Structure 1
Amino acid sequence: MQGQSFTLAELAELTGSELSGDGNLVIDSVAPLETAESGSISFLANPRYRRAVATTRASAVILPMDMRASAPAVPAVFSNNPYLAFARVARALNPQRPAQPGVDPSAWVAPGAYVDPAAEVAPHAVVHNESRIGAGSVVCSGAVIGVGAVLGADCVIGPNVTIAEGCQLGDRVQVSAGAVIGADGFGFAQDGERWEAVPQLGTVQIEDDVSIGANTTVDRGSQGDTRIRQGCKIDNLVQIAHNVEVGEHTVIAACTGISGSTRIGRCCIIAGSVGIAGHLNIADGTTFTGMAMVTGNVREAGVYSSGIPAMPAQDWRRSAVRFRQLDAMARRIDALEKALERMNDDNNEHTGP
C-alpha cells in the first residue's frame, strides 16, 4: 500500500528519532522485515527478530535506542518507542483519504438536516431531520444518521453504521463498519412471567478522537447518557450497555462486554473477552487480562486476571471432577485442623509443669 513519500531525514524529524545513515533516502512504503523491498521502511520492536535486520532488503529500519551500539549496516532511525514511531511513519506515508465534499445523488438527506459543504455523504446513506454533519466528515455507503444526531468535524462513519437518534459525536471520531451507536439498552421490568420494556430515554455522548471497531454496539442511556470519553479506542464486537461511562484514553479489546451503569476509569486497558458486571466503579489505570470476570468494584490500579487457561481435555475433565469435590474437601480439612488442634492441646496438658 503506497501513498506519499518522504526522505529518511524527514521521517526521523517527524517521529523525534535519531538518524543513522543516508538521510536523503526516499521512503515510500512500510513493510515487514522479511518481505520489505527497496523504498520500504521496517521496524523492530521485539528482540527475537533482531537477526532479520541483518538480512532485510528494506531501505531503512526503525530500531530501539538500545541497538545504537550494535547498529546494522542498513540506514536506521533510533527511537525510544519503535512501534509508535512506525505508526507515525505509516500514517504519514498512507494518510487517510480526505472527504470528497458533496452528497451522492443516491443518498437521502432530510430537508431539516445540515451537511457542511466540506463533508461527504456517500451512496445510499441516510441523514435524518435535525441531524448535523461537521466539516470534513465522511458518512460512508449505507450508514444511517438518526434524527437529531450530531457529528463533529473530520469524523468517519463506516459502511452500514447506525448513529441513532440524538447521539452526539465529537471531532475526529471513527466508527467502523456495522457498528451501532445508540441502540436501546437492555432494560425490562418483570410482570409475572412476562417482561415489559423500559423506555431508553438517554443518548450516547462520544468525545473527540474516539475509535470504535466494526460491529460494536454502544447502547443509549436509560435516562441519563452513555459516555465514551476523549481518546478511547474500542475494538470490534464490544458491547457497552446503557449508562456506562468509559474514561479518557481507555482501550477495550474485542468481545468484551460491559454491563449497565458501570464506570470505567481513565487510561485503563481491558483485554479481549472480559466480562464486567453492572453498577461497578473501576479505578483509573486498571488492567484486566483476557477473559477476566469482574464482579466487584476495583478501587486500586493494578493488573487483574481470572479465567482458566486452556489445557489438554483429559486434564480439564480431571480438574472438573475435583471442582465438584472442593466443598467436601474443605470441610474435611477443617475437621482435621480442629482435631489436630485438640491433640496439641491434650499434649500440652500432659507435658505441662
Structure 2
Amino acid sequence: VMVTSRMNKIFDIDENNFLVRVQPGVIVSDIHRRVEEKGLFYPPDPASSSVCTIGGNVGECAGGPRAVKYGVTRDYVLGLRAVLPSGEVIQTGVSTAKGVAGYDLTRLIVGSEGTLAVVTEITLKLLPKPEMIKTMAVFFDSMQKAAKTIAGIMKEATIPRCVEYLDESCLDLVKDTLSFGLPKDIKAMLILELDGNVSSVEKDADKIKRLCYSHDALDVLVAKDQTQAQKLWDARKALSPVLYKIAKNKINEDIVVPIDKIPDMVHVIQEIQKTSGLKVVSFGHAGDGNIHCNIMYNKADEDELERAEKAVDKLFNSTLDLGGTITGEHGVGMTKLKYLEREIGATQIELMKGIKKVFDPQNILNPDKIFH
C-alpha cells in the first residue's frame, strides 16, 4: 500500500487565473476552506469531504451533491504531475482554460483507480464563490412522488446545485439529528440547494417551492440560516456510518440512471426489498440520477449472503436495462469487476487492457482492479 497522506501541501492559490495547485494528500474540505477564504469556489463535495483526500477523488473521479450543476472531479482537473511505474515523471494537461495538444492523458488518469500512474501534484480549476446559497427540505408521503418531483424540477424549473433524496429508512436513522420535527406520514425527503446572485436565487427558490407543492409535497422548509442548513447536510453525510444500526454488513452500490428513469429505479429498489426480504436503504444525488443503494445483511449468514448477491444482480441488470451505469463515482475495483463486461463489452475491455499494458507493462500498480 502506498500512502500519500504526508503529501498534504496546498502550494499556491492563483486568484487571477482561478487555479489551485495541491498535493494528493490534501483533505478536500481543506481545499474548500482555503479557496473560499479568497472568494473562490471548488465545487466537487463528496459526502466524505472532511476526511477524503484530493488524490483519492482524482483516482475515483468523485462527485458529490453539487455534481448536478457543476460536474465531477474530472471537470476541474486541469493538469497532473504523475510518476509512471517505470519511474519516469510526466506532466499532463495545462494551466489554461483550453488546451488540446495531443491525447488527453489527464482525463485518462482521472478515474483510473490508481492503475496507470501515481499522482503527486494536481492543478485544479476554481470558480468565483457564489453570492448566495439557499437550502430547502421538501417532504413527501411516497418515494414515487419525490422521484417524479426530481424529474419535474430538472425539466421545468432551474438547475439547483444539489438535489439529494433520503428514503423512509434513512429518515428513521437521522431524524434525531435534525433541528426540526418531521411531518406525519413522511416517506421521503429531498434536500435542495440553490446558489448564485441574490435575486436569481430568491426567484428560483419560489419557483421550485411552487413546483414541489404541485407535485403533492407535504411541506417545504427553507433553512432560516446557515446553522439549520448545516444540520441538514450533517444528517445526510452521517448516513453511511449509521446504516450499521440496521445490519452488521452492507453492500453499497452507486448506480446511475437517466433522470426520467428515477421513478422506475425507485420501484425496482422497492421490489428488490420485497423479494430479497432484506432491508434496502437508498439515498443519493438524485439530481443527476446517482442513487446510493445499500443492501443490508449479515454476511456470516449464508442464506442472507446469497439473497444479497442475487439482489445486487437484480439491481445492476435493472440499472443497465434502464440505460444506466453500474457505478457513478465509487469505481469498479474488485467488487464490480465481474459486472463490467455487461456494461461496456469485451472489445472496450481489451482496449483498456492495452492501455494498462502501455502504462504498466509489469502490472505493478493496483493489479487485478477493474479487470483481470
Q: Give the TM-score taking structure 1 as reference length.
A: 0.25
Q: Which has the higher strand share?
A: 1
Larger RCO (alpha carbons 8 Å, 6+ apart): 2
Which structure has greater helix proportion?
2
Q: Give the TM-score taking structure 2 as reference length.
A: 0.24
- When Rg is computed on C-alpha atoms for both structures, the one with the higher figure is 1
